[in-house]
Structures are given as C-alpha cells and as structure tokens.
Amino acid sequence: MCMVSKEYLIEILKENKVFEQGEFTLASGKKSNYYVNMKRAITEPEILSTIAKLINEKIDDDTDKIAGPALGAVPIATAVSLESKKPLLMIRKEKKGYGTSKLIEGDLNEGDKVILVEDVTTTGGSLLKAINAIVDNGGVVQKAFVVVDREEGAMETFANEGITLEPLISVSEFFE
C-alpha cells in the first residue's frame, strides 16, 4: 500500500496517459494544444481510489453530502461517498422530461452542507451550474474540489462567487 499523495496521483495519471497533446476543442468551446482525458482516469480503480482518498482527507466532519455533476464527476463523487461514508447527490445537466424530472438525484435536505467534486475545470461554468442547483434547492455548498484545474479562470470565477475551489492538481504542476 503506497502513500496517497498529490505526487502519486500525478505519477499514475501520467502512466495512464491522461494528458494528451494535440489539437482539441474543449467543452467551453476553446481550442487547446492538450486535453485532460479524465474519462480514462476515472475508469481506472487505482486512480479513482487515490482521488477519493485525497478529497476525503480534506472534507470537514460536518459535511452532509457529496455531489457531482453528470457525467464525469459522478464516479468521483461516488468514490468519495464510499470513502467518506457520506450520502451521494448526482446533478443532471438538465431536468429530464419523464419520471421524477428532478435536476438532483439523491436526498438533499434544507441546510445540508455539500461538497462538490468535478473532474476538470477550465472556466468553471459547468461546476457553477451544479453549485447553483444545490443552492436553489436549499443546500449549502461548503467547498468544491476538482481533480485537475486547467488554470483558465475557474479559480477566479469561484473566488468572485465566494466559493473555495480546491484543485488536487493544477495543469502547471503536471507539466513541471
């Protein structure tokens, strides 16, 4: 059993070729010469487990729920939920038009303290939508964690909203 650390996470992400170089269009519409393939990372049990342990070490005892926006963050949120023994919330991109037509799956109670997790942030737009969904439904967002921050504005976006965004890794650390 190796020591769980940021350095170890970077090492296993490199081994699994999570960072790809080339020409890519990101979710934000921006062009980039590299891509962080977190789908590759979150389908590897060792990486997922390492991410969950690193985030769990930073969660306050009074946290009530762990939340993640679909799709990329759901496996991460699930792993953190299992590691922390705290219930899971899954946040849809949009309400479905059938069944319960909920935006949030899981039981969010008024005043619940929620930790949000995300796989990658660029500007932070999609994570902000998830945060707003929690707040609009009575939850209190304590903090947001992201596995990889691309350092393209997300930290500033969150600071302006008064929410702490804590990356496990910044892109610059990966390329050091």
40 annotated as ligand-binding: no
Q: At what angle do helices 154-161 and 125-136 cross, to 10 degrees?
A: 30
Rounded to 5 degrees, φ, ψ at 58 are -105, 5
Using alpha carbons only, what angle is made at residue 90 by residues 88 and 91, rounded to the nearest 5 degrees?
A: 145
150 annotated as ligand-binding: yes
6 annotated as ligand-binding: no
126 annotated as ligand-binding: yes
Q: Number of helices and strands (H, E) in the chain?
A: 7, 8
DSSP summary character for residue 138: T
111 annotated as ligand-binding: no
**Do residues 146 and 173 lie in contact, with contact meaning Cβ atoms separated by under 8 Å?**
no
117 annotated as ligand-binding: no
93 annotated as ligand-binding: yes
* Residue positions forming the annotated binding site for orotate: 122, 150
* Residue positions forming the annotated binding site: 92-93, 96, 118-126, 150
* Residue positions forming the annotated binding site for 5-phospho-alpha-D-ribose 1-diphosphate: 92-93, 96, 118-126
